[in-house]
Amino acid sequence: MPEEMKLIQRVVVERDENGWWHHPGIPDFDGTEDPVPYKGWIAEQGLELKTWGMEVELDFHPYWDGEAHCNGWEPEAPGPEWFLMGIFDTDDGPHVQWARRNEQCGACGGCINGCQLNKDSPEVSP
């Protein structure tokens, strides 16, 4: 019998001293930076993602003058159903990533992407 998948959910965000944060429910994928396992996990979770850089919201930040933080950047969710996946540094500067459940994820019992969740599971709330 396959193990029931635990859906990642909204959690309290406590950013570190430099303003960075990642959702504790994201697996580490054995430390690889290969995006393929992450993308597969996102699909299994039934999530839609939105990601953008700090430069979209701010005209200036000390980060661009060599500071190693994103303190003072408070990105807002695209809507009330979105929850934070992370605020992280990239080669292109600070980025934020938000997630929400796809309308037809396994939580509704009518998943079209192969989700293995039981619609009556106490872990899910569509």
| pLDDT digit string (tens) for the chain, length 126 residues | 446 778 999 999 999 999 999 999 999 998 888 899 999 999 999 999 999 999 999 999 999 999 999 999 999 999 999 999 999 999 999 999 999 998 654 454 444 444 444 444 444 443
What pLDDT does residue 88 have?
Answer: 96
- Which of 7-32 are b and which e, b meaning 16 or more Cβ less than 10 Å from the residue's Cβ? bbeeeeeebeeebbbbbeebeeeeee
User: Cβ(86)–Cβ(27) under 8 Å?
Assistant: no
Instruction: Give, in order, the Cα–Cα distances in Å from 36 to each of 29, 33, 79.
Output: 10, 9, 27
